[in-house]
Structure 1
Amino acid sequence: MNIKPEIILECRNVTKTVKTASNSQHEKSLTILKAINLQVKSGESIAIIGASGSGKTTLLSLLAGLDLPSSGEIYLNNLALHSFDEERRSKVRADHVGFIFQSFLLINSLTALENVMLPAELANDSDAKEKAIAMLEKVGLADRIEHYPGQLSGGEQQRVAIARAFISNPAILFADEPTGNLDSKTGERITELLFELNQQQGTTLVLVTHDSTLALRCQRQLLMQAGEFINQEVAMAEVS
């Protein structure tokens, strides 16, 4: 498989179908994604938008290697995610990927500092603590590093989550509704921070959002409807 080096993420004819419960003896299938094709350049920012149930989060989980497609191919940094088992996909995520979720997903029993350190520690980074302190300073939480998630506001928790996502300097960052649980003013601050760090580190950004302000900050906006891009012609990046 030969993909041009400037393409960090590519999916080809990706579909996702799940079995649904049925009252009859025959299983029924639900098609969530239909023949998705997408190319994302290194350093690019992409917003995937669409109504609830359109397949956005399912696509994000496939692109990040959290799940496997029913058919089609997904390449991340030239690695064939669709052909990897969970152990190999987990390694790819650890080496190349950062995540930010709507619900923050911090570990309540760990301090802000310990939450941010975790990915670096799992990667056996001997400078995990120093890097975590530096990241928390970058996101404006230098005075909150010993606080637990329950002692932080929603905006502060999301800043911790952003610091955690960026600590390993991921090649690509996936964000699922990163401002979804925040008020508009806090959401604006988180948006500024997200793109500031994105620019500083040159990270590729792929996000799912209902927030039009956040979506418009991205270089491309891809609209999903009923499991496919309805602006399919702009889903493929121009590759020179």
Structure 2
Amino acid sequence: MLQDPDLILQCRQVTKQVTTGEKTLDILQPIDLRVKPGETVAIIGASGSGKTTLLSLLAGLDTPSQGEIYLKNEPLHKYDEEQRSAIRAKHVGFIFQSFLLINSLTALENVMLPAELAGDEQAQQRAMDMLEKVGLADRAEHFPSQLSGGEQQRVAIARAFISSPDILFADEPTGNLDSKTGETVSKLLFELNQQQGTTLVLVTHDNELAAQCQRQLLMHAGELQETVKAMAEVV
């Protein structure tokens, strides 16, 4: 496949099979996807349709059974876990439905962690700045167990953006939140995304959240399709 240097993410004929006993399950049918820098893309679909599996492949958390995936022109499908980890550390941010904060660290320490691992000497100050942006400066010394679900997700957003990632992958970022808190978190997510010019690829059941993205892709039985709205926007 010829790489397009103008794309931040591209995949061609990507599939994923899982073998259980004597059965082989086709989780993903051959998928093609092209994402431009700064673009916001939502992947929607029913539970079990393959959304999270695809997101894991695009982010280099897993490898495809077949096909090619390029992130920042790096061939993830050819790399081992150590090489993919290095690419993720350099270019990728994550937000998960279950927050995945480290319980033994304060909110400040959770946000600082990616910057510290990257050797940023200003990690603490930058983490405080990010907590200020998400409205949690006064909760910096609190542990995850002392925070509400919405507050934990705001900490997770601050952590995701502290390293100014080129691309952010979000898996059901409002899935564990009530509708009002979800609206607050999604507004914050898109505000920070716009400020930093980050490419955003998110998986969601929330049609209102998906509608805020420039493109909506429908995952159905392992196949990825452009939605009517997305196709209209392209035309």
| TM-score of the alignment, normalized to the shorter chain, above 0.5 | yes
What TM-score, normalized by structure 2, do the two folds share? Answer: 0.96
**Amino acid paired to 1:43:** G
Q: Of 47, 50, 67, which aligns to 1:52?
A: 47
1:212 aligns with 2:210: no
**Which runs of 5 or more structure 2 residues have no equivalent in the other structure?**
none
Shift of 1:212: 0.8
Identity of aligned residues (%): 74
CA distance in 1, matches of 2:227, 2:10: 14
Judge conservation of contact 2:41–2:214 (CA < 8 Å) in 1: yes
1:5 equivalent to 2:5? Answer: yes
Match of 1:96 among 82, 91, 97: 91
Give the partner amino acid of 2:6: E
The partner residue of 1:106 within 93, 96, 101 is: 101
CA shift at 1:2, angstroms?
4.9
Gaps of 5+ in 1: 22-26
Output the CA distance in 2 between the equivalents of 1:222 and 1:214: 13
State the Cα distance separating 1:172 from its structure 2 match.
0.2
TM superposition shift of 1:28: 1.3
Report the AA paired with residue 112 of structure 2.
M
Q: How does 1:85-234 map to 2 (within 5 A)?
A: 85-231=80-226
Instruction: Name the structure 2 match of 1:24.
Output: none
Normalised by the length of structure 1, the TM-score is 0.94
Deviations 1:210-233 (A, max 9, x none): 011100000000001000113389
Instruction: State the distance in 2 between where 1:192 and 1:20 align.
Output: 41
Q: Distance in 2 between matches of 1:4 and 1:127?
A: 35
**1:77 maps to which of 62, 72, 76:** 72
Alignment: residue pair count: 232
Whole-angstrom CA distance in 2 between matches of 1:230 and 1:170:
27
CA deviation map 1:136-190 (0-9, x unaligned):
0000001000000000000000000000000000000000000000000000000
